[in-house]
Chain A
């Protein structure tokens, strides 16, 4: 399977935020890739680069063989509203859910489909599918985000991201703010959803157990650079540096204490 997204020599430096340096990364179609690393290592920055919230200083980001970074020639090639058209092919879920408080769960999920003028019947069908897929009770669809629990909000956020059947799903610590029981339930559901949809997903977490459970491929990032890429077994058995061993040992499960 060929790469859906490719980052070639991507660098981005900020005043104080997490920078990335000369990143090369390929995201395989149909697989779940997990970016992991300590906070501030630049893993969220990579997601924000891919969805075009920020632009790389150097390097190229290629989505489905189109260059989408914002240097002018590339933008022009994409055409008017080009980056928005790419964004609609990508779903994006963040830690706090990013739900708009003035819209109901339904309003949030259908926002983009309505903007694109999709047929009402088509949207209704898709919404039922998504509720079933994410185990979200349909009778809660008319609630506002503030009337939902944290876990329910993340399910709504996931439905919003999946509404237009995106080729790529980006998840930035989607479960980071949830308590352990809810988190475990959602991890299980996410894994099922990814499998059922054969969804290409790129997930950011700092929890190694979560990365190992959900990820087909784990990418360990530190100080803006990719340190090692592979399965958990690769990382554990063939650590590329002392940092890799340290990172893995620091996250030993309770059972080992």
Chain B
């Protein structure tokens, strides 16, 4: 027989809470410590430069961490300005156009001055100019007799597959077509790494690339000559916070003027061949490295890439569950009360459902980019969890509201007529009766979160998105699958876990 005061209902809710707690518990593990933070963007060269800087600093005895593959200039820049990271590699053209938002060309000194106002320093150029370029298969270009960008004007049938960033940039596609006065119709947006596959297969004819891209030689591509000198200079530099300690800046400045185009292409090619950025970075240090330095370096490197696959998989999966679990816990704790308010209809109900609906329509990458510049967030696990939490809200809010609204009027009135207090009606009648719908909402959120959590890797929050991202970047399907398969299995497991939970949490009388 049950306790004195009512049934399984209290038990029911405490079980929900306990479950939510477990799923979120892992999330309280350590947030980042205090070493110098180096950031890099989501492409090979940036990873390699990040690794080189890491190696240079750690050779100088400085504790350093590399947060690889963060998405997009704006995320890196905001992270640098707010002190989430201390250093990252950037290009002068990108600084002028995207960060300083200037359309007129600036001298190197002017750029340094402007950045100084934001408390950010810039090294001298590292040596190479990685400008944008339009590339084609060599065989295809020769057949059509194309050498320069101007030559494209005579071939309106060509298909352009361009990265989204290039399509939107102030020094990107639109000004380029204005400058060259041509207007191709067949233009699609495509991920940079996937674009090479499309180019080789012939589903696109022309794509944008960087002039030091290893894939240019690997895939036997040619760079169409920029005969109008449209593309600005993209000299590689490191940006760093003035607050950074002197020895770290000195170690960074050692890299100035030491990498020319040929060397960068070699490093990039090495990175893509070995699938290992640290090893490619080591190549930089080899020719002129002292024997001590080399030994230290390789010793350290072996720690970082000696990590076994099961160990990595465990780390990714644990982080993935942290992200999805903790965000789900928040969605449940906030979503159910909001759903209860929303179920009462009226203006507040509409506002709540409207808000949750709007959040759902923001593309996840855009939501991440919106959160990163905010003070509390930055490039952190916090940001990823917050974004996932917001995505998880709508299904829970909506299902809670609908579940409650679907309770027949006769039963609501019976509860009132019995003389139950409003709180007792909610806990003992309404919530248990809506439990099936509420749980279905939580299940939807959980599955969405497990899937969406892969995007957390874009802001360096880790998880199973990490191998997916670097696999996309290296054009390496095996690496992509290392993340994609476990993520899919995880989603299925979550689904079946919730199917089991239904049996425990939905009162038996509702399952007849």
Query: Interface on A for B, CB 8 Å cutoff?
Result: 48, 51-53, 81, 84-88, 90, 92, 94, 96, 98-104, 107, 111-112, 114-115, 117, 120, 144-147, 160
Contacts of B1 in A (CB 8 A): 120
In the bound complex, CA of A112 to CA of B410 (Å): 17
Complex Cα gap A111–B424 (Å): 10
Bound complex: CA of A88 vs CA of B415, how far in Å? 11
In the complex, the answer to whether B414 meets A102 with C-beta atoms within 8 Å is no
Given the complex of chains A and B, what is the CA–CA distance between A174 and B484 in angstroms? 59
Residues of A contacting B432 with CB < 8 Å?
102
Assess A87 versus B4: contact at CB under 8 Å? Given A100-B411, A145-B509.
Answer: no
A53 to B413, CA, bound (A): 7
Q: Is the CB of A53 within 8 A of B417?
A: yes
Contact partners of A52 in chain B: CB under 8 A: 416
Residues on B with C-beta less than 8 A from A144 are 508-509, 512
On whether A101 and B433 interact (CB within 8 A), knowing A96-B410, A145-B509, the answer reads yes
Q: Which 3 A-B pairs have the closest CB atoms?
A: A98-B414, A87-B419, A144-B509
Complex: chain B residue closest to A124, CB-CB: B1
Q: When A94-B414, A111-B428 are in contact, do A102 and B507 touch as well, CB less than 8 Å?
A: yes
Q: Can you list 24 pairs linking A and B with CB atoms under 8 Å apart? A: A51-B417, A53-B416, A53-B417, A84-B419, A84-B421, A88-B418, A88-B419, A90-B417, A92-B414, A94-B414, A98-B413, A98-B414, A101-B433, A103-B7, A103-B507, A104-B509, A107-B7, A111-B6, A111-B418, A111-B420, A112-B419, A114-B4, A114-B7, A115-B421
By CB atoms of chain A within 10 A, which of B5, B420, B435, B509 has the most? B509
Flag if B6 contacts A114 (CB, 8 Å). Answer: yes
Q: How far is the CB of B266 from chain A (nearest CB, A)?
A: 69
Residues of A within 8 A of B507 (CB): 102-103
Contact call A102/B419, Cβ cutoff below 8 A: no
Pick the contact of B433: A53, A102, A160 (CB < 8 A): A102
B residues less than 8 Å from A87 (CB atoms): 416-419
Interface contacts (Cβ under 8 Å), in number, total 83
B510 within 8 A of A: yes
Chain B stretch 260-288: residues in CB contact (< 8 A) with chain A: none
Whether A85 lies near B414 (C-beta < 8 A) is no
Cα distance, A206 to B433, chains bound together (Å): 32
With A and B bound together, what is the CA distance between A26 and B26 in angstroms?
66
Given contacts A92-B414, A103-B7, contact A115 B424 (CB under 8 A): yes
Query: Residues of B within 8 Å of A, CB-based: how many?
Result: 27
Instruction: Report the Cα distance A146→B507, complex, angstroms.
Output: 13
Beta-carbon contact of A100 and B5 below 8 Å: no
By a CB distance below 8 angstroms, the chain B residues around A115 are: 5-6, 420-421, 424, 428
Residue of A nearest to B507 (CB): A102
Interface: B494 (CB within 8 A): no
Q: How far is the CA of A81 from the CA of B5 in the complex (A)?
A: 19
Asked if B433 and A100 sit within 8 Å, CB to CB, the answer is yes
Residues of A within 8 A of B512 (CB): 144, 146-147
Distance, CA A85 to CA B418, complexed state (A): 10
Within the complex, what minimum Cβ distance (angstroms) separates B348 from chain A? Answer: 23
Contact of A114 among B5, B416, B509, B510 (CB under 8 A): B5
A interface footprint on B411-445 (CB within 8 Å = 1, 0 otherwise): 10111111111001000110011010000000000
